[in-house]
Structure 1
């Protein structure tokens, strides 16, 4: 009797998360055999994604899952509250800006999507007055990029308190799209028609993607077919 492939592989250290072990085994025995030629081609030729997605680190909103993307199809950077910081060439370390530069200049992506989502903890941290989680308050400093947008939403009395979080999730996407245009290498490509910017918001509870209409400023549900 032939043993399953997974039983023939060396066991990982017991301290390694079991969920990741079983997930990796499922990938190696299931998905990888059907896509091994793609992986080999990507290894030999390099990646050439046409789309970059700037999303939130939240575990519920993986772009690869939401867009049913295969390896090599989308270039993804994720951070708390899917923020694009302003262009700041000050010689300091800037992870999101570095990923943006690589995607646009090295990979020559044709589309950038900033995707927010419902029930975002980073947006809640920006809107609420809370004690920092640590003395360094990395989160507070990061979401302060949205201070101007947050204050505008907070002071808009036409927005009911229950909808204020969703409103800021939407407005934060627009703010990040505005910040993208502060990067010279982004703006020049947008103006040349070589790059398009898009905004989106994912409803976690309903599994629906809402896409920003730049003319109206509203978000519209992207139609999709649900299985019966």
Structure 2
């Protein structure tokens, strides 16, 4: 119950900020939302995209799932939650940016790399297999490297797999080609506290917001 009490206290703080006094934000948001950015992030409790970026309600449309994965476009019977959210963000909300936000210490990618992932559950293993191309690439190029380095490489490669899968959606591909939507691959390094972005020119993730250095005492 201690956690629940913390959440209720947090809601009261949120309530005071946005509903007590003269705040107009939710008066406008109650009529419509108009975010310009879709973020596809991990469900990991340490990686809240709104918290990481200091956003307010209404600033970003967010999809979160295990390992921030995007499945390829398909119309087979099933419950395509990520695809439905993507379609709504692109076609209805007309977002201008789609960000795939990966991160270090990702449990989903750790599961993908596990030789016994089939034992993790009936849903986890088939889901993380979406990023299997990343696993194969890391296995080919970095088989002799230590596990932390291979996991980091796989986490970043999985972001690129999701970016590639985004382009299999015909209506998104069309908007990207027309420069109406821009795709971004970001990676949050939680050990260093920095944000990296994938640069196609270099083929690597480079600091977008570098780590902060504490001032000498």
TM-score past 0.5 threshold: yes
Q: TM-score, normalised by structure 1?
A: 0.86
Extract unaligned runs of 5+ from structure 2. Answer: none
Show structure 1 runs of 4+ deviating over 4 A.
Answer: 224-228
- The answer to whether structure 1 residue 149 and structure 2 residue 123 are counterparts is no
Aligned-partner SS, 1:155: helix
Give the Å deviation of 1:15: 9.8
- Tell me by how many angstroms 1:76 deviates: 0.5
TM-score for the superposition, normalised by structure 2? 0.90
Instruction: Name the residue aligned to 1:43.
Output: 30
Per the TM alignment, residue 25 of structure 1 is displaced from its structure 2 partner at its CA by 1.5
Aligned to 1:178: 164
Shift of 1:210: 0.4
Q: What's the secondary structure of 1:222's corresponding residue?
A: strand
Alpha-carbon separation, structure 2, partners of 1:17 and 1:43:
26
User: Is 2:39 aligned against 1:53?
Assistant: yes
Q: Residues 127 and 154 of structure 1 are in contact (CA less than 8 Å); yes or no, is this contact kept in structure 2?
A: no
Over the residues paired in the alignment, what is the CA RMSD in angstroms? 2.1
Over residues 113-161 of structure 1, what are the superposed CA-to-partner deviations in whole Å (9 max), with x where a residue is unaligned?
0010000000000011135233xx2000100111222122122237612
* Cα 1:29/1:173, change in 2 over 3 Å: same
List aligned pairs for 1:54-203, cutoff 5 A: 54-130=40-116, 132-134=119-121, 137-157=122-142, 160-161=145-146, 162-203=148-189
Structure 1: 5+ residue stretches without partners: 1-13
Displacement after TM superposition at 1:30 (Å): 3.8
Give deviations 1:76-119, integer Å, cap 9, x for gaps. 00000000001011132110000000000000000000010000
Aligned length: 212
